[in-house]
Amino acid sequence: MNPLTALHDRIRACRRCLEAGYPITPGPVFSGPATARVMVVGQAPGVTEVRAGRPFNGPSGRRLFRWLAEAGWDEETFRATHYLTAVTKCYPGKAPTGKGDRVPTREEQRLCAPFLEEELRLVRPEVLIPVGGLAVRRFVGPVRLSEAVGTCLRDEEGRWVVPLPHPSGASLWLNRPENRERVVRAIGHLRRLREALDL
């Protein structure tokens, strides 16, 4: 069996967070082929993603794909060609405050981390797009979103890293004109990488 397919089977069978007592909804969400050269990494799927079994499927996906369209990718081609995943792969449920989804705990992130490591090892993306604070910190370190978005870094593995805010939680953050300017810069980096690397 193809190693990525075997990994996907192991992720789908995983119940680690449930066994550790976290109220996740089983049904991990990710997509993309082993040949993907771009990998988008979000925080965790939302309820619309789990229902559809498709990453970035709901309103957050519409905003993400609008940004990617500005960089020159159409959604259908991007979904078929590139890889979409998350720091934790199962829906964590609603936040206790009732506002939005629960942020996965450090322990859930630790339990799921080997799967993301394996995805990175098997897919070997040239460009990484972490979206939202949790994913950005995973790849860029302990920085504020406003410090990271708008930059284009090269990591130790030689991968280009272009952080974006999380499209589902970006509205408030995007109210600030300087943050909208940061997203415009990030989209510019993605467009240049897409053209230069023929992605």
Distance between CA 133 and CA 69 in Å, rounded? 22
Q: Does position 38 bind ligand SF4 by CB under 6 A?
A: no
# binding residues, ligand SF4 (CB under 6 A)? 14
What 3-state class would DSSP assign to 109? helix
The sheet that has 38-42: what strands, in order across it?
A: 83-86, 38-42, 127-130, 160-161, 153-154
Length of the chain: 199
Residues between 4 and 33 with contacts to ligand SF4, criterion CB under 6 A: 11, 14-17, 24, 28
Out of 43, 57, 88, 168, point to the residue binding ligand SF4 (CB under 6 A): 88
Smallest separation, CB 87 to ligand SF4 (Å): 9
CB 90, CB 26: distance < 8 Å: yes
The residue assigned the tokens 């799921």 is 112
Stretch that binds ligand SF4, among 82-90, 141-149, 166-174, 176-184 (CB under 6 A): 82-90
Strands 153-154 vs 160-161: parallel, antiparallel or unpaired: antiparallel
- Please count the other Cβ atoms lying within 10 Å of the Cβ belonging to residue 84: 26
Smallest separation (angstroms) from ligand SF4 to the CB of 113: 8
Of the two residues 7 and 64, which places its CB atom closer to ligand SF4 in the complex?
7
Residues in contact with ligand SF4, shown as a per-residue x/- string from 94 to 133 under the rule CB under 6 A: --------------x--xx--x------------------
Q: Which residues bind ligand SF4 (CB under 6 A)?
A: 11, 14-17, 24, 28, 88-90, 108, 111-112, 115
